[in-house]
Chains A and B, each alone.
Chain A
């Protein structure tokens, strides 16, 4: 989750409240503060549904409402500007959506630039799916001359990318520039790459990869041109978040005319969206009992425009909010403003009867028997690997119905186990420094042909472990669990020939038992004889 660094002094100035007041309420607004409070600042995590809180200005705006200092919708004036950006057909198959804006009259410090870059990166992550859906470019407007053009360019086109001094072709940028290598996959398979140039054909931006060096923002920059490109409507949300955040810093927003064959539009559009919600519905969801004016007051504290109208509340959702897609999203904000701690946390009147799952009842029986026989329970991983599960056990993976994961994270965990016994031997191997005898069991899930089945396995290791010990255990288990199985000699490679049996029910093999083959023990690095049993007792 994005981490936003908030400087206390900055926050006190932006919000108009004391540090203690702010810090006391921040978590209840929906933030994870953790233990990252420092002398000068605190690093706060905000959730992915609230990209409008990814900047100090955004947090201040929300906090002012939450504390009741300034409530209701913030109106951001947009001056009509003369700048035009032309969208050409050549870019529409590559990266069709663009929004842009101008913000003037800014004064940047190096911290403010850093903060703006931080917001950009967080939005790339939170809204942009790592720039695929949304990519933002911020430019020093004084370095270029409008009108601008957004079009699909030949990858051989050269320009000087940000942080470089030499010209590179767009193709080279994808191969050599760190950002190109990081995000080039988004343009994979495209014949032309998106580019924004000014009227002199100077490059502002190669979205979603990199800006040109020409327009990089410095402490001298006063006027910004902002482009946001992508694949859907989130482009405009991201633009709105950036420009309103800059406006909170004292910038003046100026619109840009975007010209397209399907119709021109003026960007940004900071008009709030209108919703009408019923107080009764909010009450039914949250469990409080608010009259429409009270609900409206709560919503204003969350910086919505809200006016009670009979049993309804007319809500204006700010243009920077990216998370409101259902009336319940609005009601949650009302509950936050009301305070979760003030809600009546009581039990519902729902009457039901509890019931354990039959497989858990069976497992309890198994545990009772195995503990009675002196075995300690273990709960090994269900993920294992072919080498241990099959090769070391002298068993074949063929026909075992094994489920392999596509991208294992470690060579130890590549498949789901189809049986349990090898996991017990692995535990023995880890416990060779502890006294023998060791007797352990596991009652757990295995997966065969993608279906979950339930097994019991038990194993015993000590110098005197022998067939009669395991045969006695098998007999006890079958008797206690009321399993009527026929015992026949086993061909299982894991077992010593002539010292192993298979358990059959209705001719179907449900398990095996016997002395483990010395070659198996050797593979696990075990130096004492061991016996084991395994029984399948159910499936989901």
Chain B
């Protein structure tokens, strides 16, 4: 896509002009604009650009003065008349001329009187001064002896400068010719005044009269400059939601569509809600310091008598764990290790059926960080509590949930979780990976629900959302979710298939 300027520059070069200044003069453009166009033409191999370093000569301040007013020797000569005694020369500028007057053999001094000789013709040095007054010149184009004289008189100075030379290439020539032909043919069709428009202006919109691709404004016929629309443009990046958030919202939408109420809870939880309320025995390995982030503080906990009794003596058909349940252990605060503590608290506050609730939130495990482990990650959890819901219904919900997630093939393997019975580990089939375990599920144990007066079965399932992100976003390193590479955020499309 050539701009109007590029085209003109190309034409000039095809006609033999080779340096930016002469092209600029010819086209009435700024030399910088010519150079920019030529660079663009060069990049498209329409012309060949050669850069060289040249020595440029220009006038000094004094040189400029003499170029305008004449050299001191010339002025002195003119003031001599037929002769003049040296003693009469008062003007110091004229005195400077005296030496050069004799050197150039324009006059003689006899008995203190200066006498002009025959006609003093215009010297090459004077011509050069006049030339340089018009603009700097390349040293190669100047008379060497005169230049040396002017330099010795500090009237000129030289400096190095870059110089450009342009030569048309084969493809440049044929393009220039076809451009020319095009404009001639336009002329042939009687549109001698046709030219390109660059921009749609309000003038064009209001007053343009259209005929196909031509538009006539105020009697002039135009065409919009056609662009090469296949060329790539500058990259712009819109502000966007995080790809992982997109996945989380996708999963939230599924839960909302399935009629679940979204719940939230505190990051800092008591061991009571995080463990004890879920019938996790106080000496359970999962509660040890090496797996859980503990805080150096104790929480207020609700009336725990029924939970304590369930742990120690059982109830609701259960034998319990035995041993001694200690409230001070339950009061220890932790960063929640799962969202299930939030769920059981919500159920304790809403024991009447039906309840369908879900949450997707960050949970914390004391794990060393690497590509597949981060100390915090998102977990999805859903529960259904109602009269007459069964383990089979749980499998039905899981099938529906995974199908909506895009995992059409699901199978169920017996599993084990401390607070559910029966427990199941759903596996989904993924092309290239086979059966992949994805989450866990079960019916809350009676030992969990009974102390909170929850009388009906609670179907529950959960899964690690970052695991899903690995599958759906093609991630190899989970850290990328949290310590994001900005290029990854930029390049991941909004329409990524989830």
User: Is A30 within 8 A of B486, CB to CB?
Assistant: no
Q: A335-B422, A354-B256, A413-B375 are in contact. Are A381 and B483 (CB under 8 A)?
A: yes
Number of interface residues of A (CB under 8 A): 86
List the one stretch of B10-18, B49-57, B153-161, B315-323 in contact with chain A.
B315-323
User: Is A377 within 8 A of B391, CB to CB?
Assistant: no
Number of interface residues of B (CB under 8 A): 95
With the chains together, A372 CA to B261 CA distance in Å?
Answer: 29
**Does any Cβ of B come within 8 Å of A284's Cβ?**
yes
With the chains together, A18 CA to B323 CA distance in Å?
Answer: 44
With the chains together, A233 CA to B321 CA distance in Å?
Answer: 10
Q: How far is the CB of B110 from chain A (nearest CB, A)?
A: 75
Q: How far is the CB of A28 from chain B (nearest CB, A)?
A: 7
Q: How far is the CB of B15 from chain A (nearest CB, A)?
A: 42
Identity of the chain B residue whose Cβ is nearest the Cβ of A449 in the assembled complex: B268
User: Is A356 within 8 A of B483, CB to CB?
Assistant: no
**Does any Cβ of B come within 8 Å of A27's Cβ?**
yes
**Does any Cβ of B come within 8 Å of A332's Cβ?**
yes
List the B side residues contacting A434 at CB < 8 Å. 485-487
List the A side residues contacting B41 at CB < 8 Å. none
List the one stretch of B74-82, B225-233, B393-401 in contact with chain A.
B393-401
List the B side residues contacting A183 at CB < 8 Å. none
User: Is A367 within 8 A of B241, CB to CB?
Assistant: yes
List the one stretch of B112-120, B142-150, B292-300 in contact with chain A.
B292-300
With the chains together, A288 CA to B285 CA distance in Å?
Answer: 34
**Does any Cβ of A come within 8 Å of B197's Cβ?**
no
User: Is B482 within 8 A of A440, CB to CB?
Assistant: no
| Interchain CB contact (< 8 A) of A410 among B242, B323, B368, B443 | B368
**Does any Cβ of A come within 8 Å of B439's Cβ?**
no
User: Is A374 within 8 A of B238, CB to CB?
Assistant: yes
With the chains together, A32 CA to B386 CA distance in Å?
Answer: 31
Identity of the chain A residue whose Cβ is nearest the Cβ of B293 in the assembled complex: A405
| Interchain CB contact (< 8 A) of B317 among A326, A374, A380, A408 | A326
User: Is A406 within 8 A of B294, CB to CB?
Assistant: yes
List the A side residues contacting B412 at CB < 8 Å. 340-341, 345
List the B side residues contacting A354 at CB < 8 Å. 255-262, 356
With the chains together, A346 CA to B459 CA distance in Å?
Answer: 13
Q: Beta-carbon contacts of B231-257 to A below 8 Å, as 1s and 0s?
A: 000000111111011000100100111
**Does any Cβ of A come within 8 Å of B69's Cβ?**
no
List the B side residues contacting A30 at CB < 8 Å. 413-416
Q: How far is the CB of A3 from chain B (nearest CB, A)?
A: 15
Q: How far is the CB of B452 from chain A (nearest CB, A)?
A: 17
User: Is A325 within 8 A of B398, CB to CB?
Assistant: no
User: Is B259 within 8 A of A353, CB to CB?
Assistant: yes
User: Is B386 within 8 A of A350, CB to CB?
Assistant: yes
List the B side residues contacting A410 at CB < 8 Å. 368-369, 375
List the B side residues contacting A347 at CB < 8 Å. 393, 396-397, 400
Q: A381-B483, A407-B366 are in contact. Are A376 and B489 (CB under 8 A)?
A: yes
Minimum-distance CB pairs A-B, first 7: A287-B392, A287-B390, A47-B416, A332-B422, A345-B395, A371-B239, A30-B414
Interface residues of B (CB under 8 A from A): 237-242, 244-245, 249, 252, 255-268, 283, 285, 289, 293-297, 314, 316-320, 322-323, 333, 335, 354-356, 362, 364, 366-369, 374-376, 384, 386, 388-393, 395-400, 411-416, 421-425, 437, 443, 445-447, 457, 459, 481-487, 489-490
Interface residues of A (CB under 8 A from B): 27-30, 32, 47-50, 129, 132-133, 232-233, 284-288, 325-329, 331-332, 335-336, 340-341, 343-348, 350-357, 359-360, 364, 367, 370-383, 403-410, 413, 416, 426-427, 430-431, 434, 438-440, 445, 447, 450-452, 540
